[in-house]
Amino acid sequence: MARQQVCRPRTRVVESIEFNSSASLWRRTAGAALLALSLGACSQPPTAVPAETQVETAQAVSPRSAPCIQQVPKPYQWEGYNDQLVDACIGPTHYRFPANLFRNQMGPDFQANFSLVVMWPDLQPAEPGKLNGQPMELVMARVHISPFFEDQVPIETLLERHITPSESQAHERDPTAILALRDRQPDRFGLTPYFVNPALFEAREDRRQRETGSKFRAPLRNIDDWYLLRDSTGRLNTMIICDSHLRPEGYVAEGRALVKIPTDRTNALCMHRFVMDDVKASVRISYPRALLKEWKRFEDRARELFEAHRVR
């Protein structure tokens, strides 16, 4: 009696690359596509991949590839710290930065996110391999520049959304989230500061304690200060959120050095945001509040870096 031949499909995991628009990031994911491959004795020959599918796969590329939407990605290979150019992307926009300009001094991470670091006061990258083991004074002198691709909301109103209260905050008349309830301060460094009104804040805490029965009260010193800059049309161009002015500075700039204030236990920081309309990107810059007066210089330097290293 002739033995009946059984075809057992072999399987393999095929790596796929996709663009995750909901997170506004290029992501490389391990696909769970299982291809059944016929054995030689099976009646059906292996199915060829259509040419159009091959083209689509080649176009869905990793941000490590050069240009961001046309080339199949190349595996990352560690070659030691250096200043060689490394590909990076903000959405579909392609850049090449020196490796030592990245925060890790290597390149984008496995999800294609990246941050750049320049050192105050010169705003130049550290020498390759020199970010590791820096003393705290130099760590605090780092200016971090992080871009984010924004394709889910209009870029022109993106910053305004960050200072727009949520529905619940508006209903509660939260004095920490509603710009009109904050106290406008005299302009400082070309920015308009807005501090939380102490009386309104304490009234909010009183109300919350009555409604919840909790004894907890949020301290006013934990509420951030806002520094805003609008253009002649009223559009918000720059937004800087800093630790409360009630918190100690932590460091002071003396000449070309940041010097720790011995009596200050904490270090006040700032988070600075602006947008680049042409590439639909928001940019976040972080630095000590002791350097807030140089905010314009930091923003100009960030724009300069993105412009100089963009691949046209």
- What is the average pLDDT across 30-45? 40
Q: Of the spans 57-66, 76-85, 223-232, which averages the highest pLDDT?
A: 223-232
Report cis status (omega within 30 of 0) of the bond before 121.
yes
Q: Does residue 37 fall inside a structural domain?
A: no
Q: Does residue 96 fall inside a structural domain?
A: no
Q: Does residue 188 fall inside a structural domain?
A: yes
In sequence order, what are the residues at sequence separation of 6 or more whose Cβ sits closer than 8 angstroms to the Cβ of residue 61?
17, 68, 69, 70, 71, 72, 73
pTM, two decimal places: 0.77
Spatial contact of 298 and 282, defined as CB atoms under 8 Å apart: no
Q: Does residue 193 fall inside a structural domain?
A: yes
Q: Does residue 126 fall inside a structural domain?
A: yes
Q: Does residue 68 fall inside a structural domain?
A: no
Provide the β-strand partners of residue 20.
25
| Domain span at 147 | 115-308
Burial level of 163, CB count in 10 A (0-12/13-18/19+)? middle
Cα–Cα distance between 36 and 270 in angstroms, integer? 54
Report cis status (omega within 30 of 0) of the bond before 219.
no
Is pLDDT at 183 greater than 80 in this prediction? yes
Structure token digits, residue 174: 């939260």
- Mean residue pLDDT of the chain comes to 83
Q: Does residue 123 fall inside a structural domain?
A: yes
pLDDT tens digits for 220-241? Answer: 999 999 999 999 999 999 999 9
Output 243 or 72, whichever has higher pLDDT.
Answer: 243
| % the chain with pLDDT above 90 | 71
Which residue carries 């020498």 as its tokens?
127
pLDDT band at 312 (very low <50, low <70, confident <90, very high): confident
Which residue carries 């030592």 as its tokens?
100
pLDDT tens digits for 119-132? Answer: 999 999 999 999 99
Overall number of domains in the chain: 1
Q: Does residue 208 fall inside a structural domain?
A: yes
pLDDT band at 12 (very low <50, low <70, confident <90, very high): very low
Cα–Cα distance between 270 and 272 in angstroms, integer? 6
